[in-house]
Amino acid sequence: MKRTETVKDDLRYLQLLAREFPNIPAVTTEIINLKAILNLPKPTEHFVADLHGEHEAFLHVLRNASGRIKRRVTDIFSVDGPLRPKGVEPLSESQQHEFCSLIYYPEQKLELLHRQCELDDSFYHRTLYNLVLICRNFSLKYTRSKVRKSLPEEYAYIIEELMHESTEDTNKHAYYEAIIQAIIETRRADHFIVAICNVIQRLAIERLHILGDIFDRGPGAHIIMDQLCNHHHIDIQWGNHDILWMGATAGNISCIATVLRLSLRYGNSPVLEDGYGINLVPLATFALETYANDDCTVFHPHYLRPEGKPAKKQRLLDAKMHKAIAIIEFKLLGQLVKKYPEWNMSDRDLLGCCNFENGTIRIGDTDYPLLDTNFPTINPADPCRLTEEEATLMESLCRSFRMSERLQRHIEFILSHGSMYKITNGNLLFHASIPLNADGSLKKVSIFGEQLCGRSLMDRVEQIVRTAYDEAATADERHIARDFFTYLWSGPDSPLFDKGKMATFERYFIEDKKTHEEPKGHYYLLRDNATVVDGILDHFEVNGPQRYIINGHVPVHASRGENPQKADGRLLVIDGGFAEAYHHTTGIAGYSLVYHSKGFYLAAHEPFTSRADAVARGTDIISTKQIITRSDHRILVAETDRGAEMKLQIEDLNRLLTAYRKGYIKEH
């Protein structure tokens, strides 16, 4: 009786549900389907952080699924491989490398093999057969319907037939062989190989989590973003470098100046010019005129790749542009910290601390000599005011950022698929920090007059970020929200930064390295404390027998023995340094985290040579696998967040079934 009353009370909702499931057979079929899915193994999740424009290394990790594909090939095709089917010819180690290279880069590998004249019917027959084996193995944890949706339309029927037919069935062996032979005879083998390799890559990782910092330093952030925009299942937790680019795209000229300075500092302007069509000619013209007789020694870029180092004339131009935009950035920052005293960033108005006549700067009680004293655009009486030429330049650059279709599309994707944090399957994901007090309690941060901490702080920050792009917001609301990106980039209590200061000015102009120090917030000092980490997880209502905080932002110095597992294993830091600039300090080339039906493992990656080398020589990123947890049973979909949602769906469908059977809703 109670069940019937519930059905009657919720009749309006059930009538809406009946539009999708119009009769009893439709409802029962869906219930059967959902209950079956609950008993499938949990799909694989892939966590990566701090990509920093290193597109070749990141895309390779994506293609090889942090080594999962290589391990599966080894298990299936090694002589003693635990998954090798009866009658399957084993592959030597070198053959396995070549086979993996084909799976990662099918188009390029086939092109190379054609040039080397190494393709014949026996190659195609063997390769197609082996690819089907791998594809079939990765498909086992998915429903046929899900696998079907992953297949390219052109070859969906054929791949599905091959994957679900056993070659050991003598009755179907001739049928199976006929399909393979027909693919070869019709000269569609290359197309088919490319298609099935792409399916393998897709099935190897079901969901991708990007924990921030896609942009800056490396040469291919735009290439990474093109790939992510086409990914089948992705979420992004915003990092400080992402927020910087989001602010620039929204029209914050302070963020624009910072993006330009970072690009020029690392000799990375092609990302702006070639990747996003940002016109840097006005900046070059301004820099050449303003700093004509200045060698801009302090501002010579740090070219991260020797092969990318330009000729001397271009290096000098880069240095002049670098200085020009850096001075503008410091001016704009000074303006903003005066405009928003509640940011507590008055110490970042460093131009106001300079004695331009003596060539010194006062910090605290100490006067330091400036390493560069040529400031033709600064008025000592009002050092943060832009000259007319600088203001015109920034208007031009802002217009260029706002008009870049590709950049706007990429930032729109980051906005729609991203957030400040995410709670999923017992894990709390965020890029950098949750501001804390010295005792480990949540720190209250003033956000436009509101005192917020923890989850409410993160939620409010996200609301402000979205307001900057919200056409329904007032012009004043959008303007204030745009300004706030600067605080998120470098504010002392910003959850994306959380340091006492960003010592950019000091690093350029003061030799004394003591002034370069950036005191870390208490989160970074206390994140190895299990009690503190448990407190954060409790606050965010993250539940489960095994729960973790997963973040990046601060590179793990593996070469010094630093462990990415903190707080008795409760916190995992997966920024191992994808960016080449960090390799000499971290000793590795990035971490990634994989969570599948058997538990968690951390993959520490060695530096990647190049895609060309991977194709030509079958080289791979060597990944050291470190088990975080191993489940005592196969984790099922029923134990995941998705499983909880499906159980609620089953409850709703059972109520609809009752409504049909009781006659409250008529079948169609």
510-538 per-position pLDDT tens digit = 999 999 999 999 999 999 999 999 999 99
What is the residue range of 400's domain? Answer: 221-227+236-505
Give how far Cα 95 sits from Cα of 99, 444, 505, Å: 6, 58, 54
Asked whether the beta carbons of 559 and 575 are under 8 A apart, the reply is no
Give how far Cα 15 sits from Cα of 2, 12, 357, 655, Å: 19, 5, 78, 11
Q: Does 584 map to a domain? A: no
What does the alpha-carbon distance between residue 622 and residue 70 come to, in Å, rounded to a whole number? Answer: 10
Question: Is the confidence at residue 222, as pLDDT, over 70?
Answer: yes
| CA dihedral angle for residue 194, residue 197, residue 203, residue 206, rounded to 10 degrees | -70
- Residue environment code for 544-558, b if the CB has 16+ CB neighbours within 10 A, otherwise e: eeebbbbbbbebbeb
Question: Is the confidence at residue 5, as pLDDT, over 60?
Answer: no
Q: What angle do CA 82, 83, 84 make, to 5 degrees?
A: 100
Q: Does 275 map to a domain? A: yes
DSSP letter (8 states) at residue 356 = T
DSSP letter (8 states) at residue 554 = S
Residue with tokens 């791979």: 620
Asked whether the beta carbons of 143 and 40 are under 8 A apart, the reply is yes
Q: Does 606 map to a domain? A: no
Question: Is the confidence at residue 668, as pLDDT, over 70?
Answer: yes
Tell whether 354 and 294 lie within a shared domain: yes
Structurally, the chain folds into a number of domains equal to 3
Of the residues 481, 505, 529, the one at which a domain ends: 505
What does the alpha-carbon distance between residue 497 and residue 53 come to, in Å, rounded to a whole number? Answer: 19
Nearest to 327 by CA among 373, 278, 362: 373
Q: For residue 367, give every residue at least 6 positions away whose Cβ sits within 8 Å of its Cβ, in sequence order, or none.
A: 355, 358, 360, 361
Tell whether 353 and 305 lie within a shared domain: yes
Q: Does 250 map to a domain? A: yes
pLDDT confidence band for 585 (50 / 70 / 90): very low
Nearest to 330 by CA among 261, 239, 266, 247: 261
DSSP alpha helix (H) spans, 540-629? 583-586, 611-617
Q: Does 406 map to a domain? A: yes
Tell whether 132 and 261 lie within a shared domain: no
Tell whether 35 and 105 lie within a shared domain: no
Q: Does 586 map to a domain? A: no
Asked whether the beta carbons of 31 and 657 are under 8 A apart, the reply is yes
Tens of pLDDT, residues 357-411: 999 999 999 999 999 999 999 999 999 999 999 999 999 999 999 999 999 999 9
Q: Does 616 map to a domain? A: no
Tell whether 119 and 250 lie within a shared domain: no
Question: Is the confidence at residue 493, as pLDDT, over 90?
Answer: yes
Question: Is the confidence at residue 168, as pLDDT, over 70?
Answer: no
Tell whether 72 and 150 lie within a shared domain: yes
Of the residues 461, 486, 505, the one at which a domain ends: 505
Tell whether 199 and 240 lie within a shared domain: no
Over range 432-438, report the average pLDDT.
96
Weakest-pLDDT range from 68-72, 287-291, 318-322, 382-386: 68-72
Asked whether the beta carbons of 564 and 556 are under 8 A apart, the reply is yes
Tell whether 150 and 191 lie within a shared domain: yes
Nearest to 482 by CA among 334, 383, 340: 340
Q: Does 371 map to a domain? A: yes
What does the alpha-carbon distance between residue 271 and residue 273 come to, in Å, rounded to a whole number? Answer: 6
Question: Is the confidence at residue 61, as pLDDT, over 90?
Answer: no
Q: Is 459 helix (H, G, I), strand (E, B) or coil?
A: helix
What does the alpha-carbon distance between residue 491 and residue 347 come to, in Å, rounded to a whole number? Answer: 11
- Residue environment code for 228-257, b if the CB has 16+ CB neighbours within 10 A, otherwise e: beeeeebebbbbbbbbbbbbbbbbbbbbbb
Tell whether 252 and 400 lie within a shared domain: yes
Asked whether the beta carbons of 68 and 595 are under 8 A apart, the reply is no
Tell whether 303 and 448 lie within a shared domain: yes
Tell whether 15 and 155 lie within a shared domain: no
What does the alpha-carbon distance between residue 3 and residue 662 come to, in Å, rounded to a whole number? Answer: 11
Tens of pLDDT, residues 634-652: 899 999 999 999 999 999 9
Residue with tokens 């910092």: 213
Of the residues 474, 505, 536, the one at which a domain ends: 505
What does the alpha-carbon distance between residue 103 and residue 71 come to, in Å, rounded to a whole number? Answer: 13
Question: Is the confidence at residue 4, as pLDDT, over 70?
Answer: no
Give DSSP secondary structure letters for 38-59.
Answer: TTSBPPPEEEE---TT-HHHHH
Tell whether 197 and 283 lie within a shared domain: no
- Residue environment code for 260-281, b if the CB has 16+ CB neighbours within 10 A, otherwise e: bbbbbbbbbbebbeebbebbbe
Neighbouring C-beta atoms of residue 492, cutoff 10 Å? 21
Selected residue with higher pLDDT from 569 and 623: 569
